[in-house]
Amino acid sequence: MRARWTLRTVVLAYLGILIGLPVVFLVLKAFGHGFGAFWGEVTQTDALSALKLSLIIAAVAVPINTVVGVGAALLIARHDFIGKRIFDTIFDVPVAISPIIIGVSLVLAYSRIGWFGAPLARWGLNVLFTPLGVALATMSVSLPYVLRSIVPVLTEIGQDQEHAARTLGAGRLRIFWNVTLPSIRWAVLYGVTLTIARTLGEFGAVLVVSGNITGVTQTLPIYIYDSWDQRFDVLGSYSGALVLALISVAVLSILAVLRRRERKLLVDFA
């Protein structure tokens, strides 16, 4: 009985020091000068333009990665082809390595000094210090979430219904819309939620390519960093961080609801 109490105390103390207290103090600091000051920070021009860019980038990256994720999941779960294992593994590479590496690699491929820099420059395209680079970096780091959410569900439900639909004369598109998609819809939503979370929160990869230009390439996470590190606006940093933290809590709640509907969805997704 004493062992149980000791263990419980140690665990609670560890989680308190590591997660509980820091989160409580973030809230206290963000509202330290009253709600008005917090609201003023959140609604100032630079913060709003950062939020706007973050939302635009998400609006580009999330649909693309959702379509790619669903397509790739169908290929992996329903087809056999040469190089399938490599194909599968490549999706995880961007989240398995340092985001800084993603940023560096994109610059060395598509900026003026990169492999494809010269031909792209002729088209007026460059990834360094541009929103295009921010979008590419974000697309890269949010690549695998939809795929990883769907594949276990696709494998679990099997192909019986799809075969039945084909026997009844349904075409491939019709089978997808009427048979496959309804059975994976919660998994797709789960993956999309994760993709949105990562898209809004990505920092390292974006920082390398963005050059941190206020109003042009500054996303919300970069704004939080910039407020602390360059502009010494600590309250701005705390306030922005609290906004993103609240979004994260909302994301976690959505994920919990979706997990209750679909048991195959994993808790550990990073």
Partner 1 sequence: MGGGGTLIVAYLSIIVILPIAAMVSHGFSISIGTKGAWFEFWRWHVAFGFRTFWDAVTAVGARNAILLSLWLSLAVATINAVMGVAIAWVLVRDRFFGRTFLDSVIDLPFALPTIVAGVVLLAIYGPDSPIHVDLFETWMGLMLALLFVTLPFSVRSVQPVLASLDLDSEAAARTLGAGTVRTFVSVVLPSLWPSVLAGFGLAFARAIGEFGSISLIAGGIPRTTTASYYIFNLTSGFLWTDAAAVSTALLVISLIVLVSANVFSRRFQRRLL
Residues 130-159 that bind partner 1 (CB under 8 A): 136, 139-140, 143
Q: What is the pattern of x (binds partner 1, CB under 8 A) and - over residues 211-250?
A: ----------x--xx--xx----x--xx--x--xx--xx-
Q: How far is CA 90 from the centre of its chain?
A: 17
Residue 19 or 59 with smaller CB distance to partner 1: 19
Cα angle 23, 27, 31 (rounded to 5 degrees) comes to 165
- Determine if 200 is a binding residue for partner 1 (CB under 8 A): yes
Least gap, CB of 270 to partner 1 (angstroms)? 5
Is the separation of the CB atoms in 139 and 61 below 8 Å? yes
Residue 184 or 200 with smaller CB distance to partner 1: 200
Alpha carbons 187 and 219: distance in angstroms, whole number: 28
- Determine if 120 is a binding residue for partner 1 (CB under 8 A): no
Alpha carbons 102 and 95: distance in angstroms, whole number: 9
- Determine if 11 is a binding residue for partner 1 (CB under 8 A): yes
Least gap, CB of 260 to partner 1 (angstroms)? 13
Q: Looking at 22, 158, 182, 215, which residue binds partner 1 (CB under 8 A)?
A: 22
- Determine if 14 is a binding residue for partner 1 (CB under 8 A): yes
Number of residues in contact with partner 1 under rule CB under 8 A: 85
Among the candidate windows 44-52, 161-169, 177-185, 262-270, which touches partner 1 by CB under 8 A? 262-270
Residue found under tokens 């961007």: 94
Residue 71 or 171 with smaller CB distance to partner 1: 71
Alpha carbons 52 and 47: distance in angstroms, whole number: 9
- Determine if 186 is a binding residue for partner 1 (CB under 8 A): no
DSSP 8-state code for residue 19: I
11 Cβ contact list (under 8 Å, min separation 6): none
Residue 166 or 203 with smaller CB distance to partner 1: 203
- Determine if 102 is a binding residue for partner 1 (CB under 8 A): yes
Is the separation of the CB atoms in 137 and 62 below 8 Å? no
- Determine if 98 is a binding residue for partner 1 (CB under 8 A): yes
Q: Looking at 37, 60, 68, 235, which residue binds partner 1 (CB under 8 A)?
A: 68
Alpha carbons 74 and 79: distance in angstroms, whole number: 7
Which amino acid is residue 270, in one-letter code?
A
DSSP letters of 142-201? Answer: TSSHHHHHHHHHHHHH-SHHHHHHHHTT--HHHHIIIIIHHHHHHHHHHHHHHHHHHHHH
- Determine if 55 is a binding residue for partner 1 (CB under 8 A): no
Residue found under tokens 């799809």: 162
Residue found under tokens 């919660």: 186
Among the candidate windows 72-80, 118-126, 153-161, 183-191, which touches partner 1 by CB under 8 A? 72-80
Q: Looking at 18, 48, 164, 257, which residue binds partner 1 (CB under 8 A)?
A: 18
- Determine if 196 is a binding residue for partner 1 (CB under 8 A): no
